[in-house]
Copies of this chain bind each other. A is one copy, B any other.
Amino acid sequence: MNQNYIKADKWCIVEEGFDKENVKSSESIFSIGNGAMGQRANFEESYSGATFQGSYIAGVYYPDKTRVGWWKNGYPEYFAKVLNAPNWIGIRVYINEQELDLSTCKKVSAFRRELNMKEGCYTRSFEAVTSNNIEIEVTVRRFLSLDIDEIGAISYSIKVLKANAEVVFEPYLDSGITNEDSNWDDKFWNTTNTSIIGDRAFIEAHTMKTNFQTCTFMQATLQYDGKHIAGEVGKRNETYASLEFKQKVLAGTTITLTKFGGYTVSRNHKANELVTAANTVLVKAISLGFDGLLELQKKAWASIWEMSDIVIEGDVKAQQGIRFNIFQLNQTYLGTDSRLNIGPKGFTGEKYGGSTYWDTEAYCIPFYMATKDDKVAKKLLKYRYNHLEKAIENATKLGFSNGAALYPMVTMNGEECHNEWEITFEEIHRNGAIAFAIYNYYRYTGDYSYIPEMGLEVLISIARFWHQRVNFSEDKNKYVMLGVTGPNEYENNVNNNWYTNYLAKWCIDYTLEQLDKVKNGYPDDYHRIIGKTKLTDRECESWKKVAVNMHFPYDKKYGVFLQQDGFLDKHLVKVNDLPKTDRPINQKWSWDRILRSPYIKQADVLQGFYFFEEDFSLEQLQKHFDFYEPFTVHESSLSPCVHSIQAAKLGRMEQAYNFYLRTSRLDLDDYNKEVEEGLHITSMAGTWMSIVEGFGGMRVINDKLSFQPQIPEQWNAYSFKVNFRNRIIKVHVSAKAVTFQLSGSKEVSIRVNGEKVVLYPDEIITV
């Protein structure tokens, strides 16, 4: 844990007291989003202290020129940047002609941030003595509408406390913004028009290169003394447009500016209709008003929570943690647009660029499958199908042929945009996660339609890749896979990473199986696909040979699969025996030292045991967990959740609980000392899994859903719902009993402690 200033609360994230040191961290934690746009918790009024400004529009990015020391063949030309978009939240405030700036106020007290996750609204309030000695009380509420996802709303109230004062509000739009992350100091936005019409303003701007056209817009109204007060045209220049509201405010009274603002984008409208679309959106919002729109917001969030909430009793911090994770996942991706995906930082920062990693398939899809309609997860699968051609191009660029596909490590539009050879070219297990998600989707939802329609083509191209990526070792008389980086990125360019080899073999086997299944069940699709891919029996035979003769490094003495060839040559000192001052090693050690150490950034062999747990006995899991976990430093946000699930499976509840806390409060408590840069969105789905799959022990085995619930000592009870094949199942676990309720059935309560429960669609059976 690196920080401890967030107040524990079941439904809210709360900060109390103003500390400049926490501003950037809180800007991340109190971020809001609605799947289409997002906003860091920057102040509306000017702030001259340290801040990281961020407004983001889903799917709007910039292909920044790649920055490398030495160019390598096959590197992508660009690195996609998440772009800070024009500012729509800004409201300059002047009190008796002095601009309000918390950094220069004489006193700031009663400062409080509250992110109400139940309602999807962020409130900030404080009292201040301005630099010209005016005492005021400020309350600001802000939300991004889930119902009208192009708009956000702000209510900015100032109460003048002791003496009358003249208050000027200058709500503005600003496209003269910069990015924290820029390789070459290129300009990212080009503004073509700024306009002010009545109480509204518009800035039309497009991104350079990608040419996403946007209209950033706003409307503002002032309420004082029960009246609406009209504003005037404010300032306007090439990248700025503002309105101005001036009012004498009597001591003890409150004045409120309401501002609506947001973006219309050429991704969703015709480029020449963006201003019109903005006006339409504003008309809707104004007719509802701030309060009306907020009522809808509460309902929308209530409906999300209705399905996805996890209730934990007796452990407020754990409760706050899981809700924060579920809330952020829903802020980031709602499954309404199959061109979008789940960026590792969501709408909370710029780091990592790109929007899509293997995190989506390996970590996020289970959450979306279980807490939403099937269609949401299917959209995520379809996203990859839509990128298949580009994945084939990508593989071709690297020397593969015959329709082999290598999906990118990081992407916005299907093109690779990461450029470290050890990742881009070698961390190829991502291809396997994409195939696994296809399997997982069918396993969980029972919906086979994606495979004949699209998935089989993806599987064929992935199988082709693996088949070409291995080579036959005369020495081992086996197929080997040289030069890869596994999920544990603290190893680069290793040979025969067990996880990758296992996944490759599985992909081939699974593809062959699906080919048979589609051939028999969907002959039209089969013929279409065979015609398109020109797949022959001979090719399939050749795949089979690889799958059957794959090399898996194994050590007899320890009885474990080896993470890679030669793993046992390392100096096997356990993490707990390292000096504390050496941790985290990624901040303390040089890269070569990390690489030759045995330390594991995140589950690698154990990731395979997680994906394919049915292939291994509990005894094998225990052996591998006991061998690898002591070398694991969990310096990836994706690490603790998998270990929490496996510790729970092994009945090690204390360890599982500790991993759970670490994954669920990773950002709230800033374990990795980097929350300023944004939140770890994709690992949040892993947190959800730690409860449902970990403590709850949910599994799908042979088309049946099963649970094996346990409960950490620290909790009185916990409950969650999952949507399994369109049946809602509610599970409530207390220290004494477990209750299951299938939608449409009556509640069934069973005394269970670690016993296994299998749920058929209509019955509950303990085994």
Contact = CB atoms under 8 A, between A and B. Distances in A.
Contacts of A496: 569
Given A67-B69, A472-B571, A475-B569, A398 B483 contact: no
Contacts of A572: 474
A532 interface: no
Given A475-B568, A571-B471, A596-B482, A591 B425 contact: yes
B480 A569 contact: yes
A399 interface: yes
Contacts of A399: 589-590, 593
Contact of A69 (B68, B471, B495, B592): B68
Nearest to A495: B566
Given A73-B590, A592-B425, A570 B493 contact: no
A566 B562 CA distance: 15
Contacts of A669: none
A570 to B, nearest CB: 7
A415 to B, nearest CB: 15
Contacts of A474: 568, 572
Contact of A595 (B69, B483, B568, B590): B483
Interface residues of A, number: 51
A419 interface: yes
A74 B591 contact: yes
Contacts of A569: 471, 473, 475-476, 480, 482, 495-496, 565
Q: Which of A72, A496, A572, A586 is the most central at the interface, judged by chain B CB atoms within 10 Å of its CB?
A: A72
Interface in A206-265: none
Contacts of A422: 493
A587 B420 contact: no
A398 B495 contact: no
A283 to B, nearest CB: 46
A70 interface: yes
A566 B593 CA distance: 21
Contacts of A472: 571
B425 A493 contact: no
Given A69-B68, A73-B586, A592 B473 contact: no
A421 B496 CA distance: 22
Q: Which of A66, A570, A592 is the most central at the interface, judged by chain B CB atoms within 10 Å of its CB?
A: A592
A44 interface: no
Contacts of A425: 590-592
Interface string A57-101: 000000000111110111000010000000000000000000000
A711 to B, nearest CB: 41
A484 to B, nearest CB: 9
Interface in A471-499: 471-476, 480, 482-483, 492-496
A588 interface: yes
A570 B482 contact: yes
Q: Which of A419, A422, A494, A591 is the most central at the interface, judged by chain B CB atoms within 10 Å of its CB?
A: A591
9 contacts: A67-B67, A68-B68, A69-B420, A74-B592, A422-B493, A471-B570, A473-B569, A495-B569, A565-B566
Interface of A: 66-70, 72-74, 79, 397-399, 418-422, 425-426, 471-476, 480, 482-483, 492-496, 555, 565-566, 568-572, 586-593, 595-596
Given A73-B588, A495-B569, 9 more contacts: A74-B591, A398-B590, A473-B570, A474-B572, A482-B566, A482-B596, A495-B566, A496-B569, A565-B569
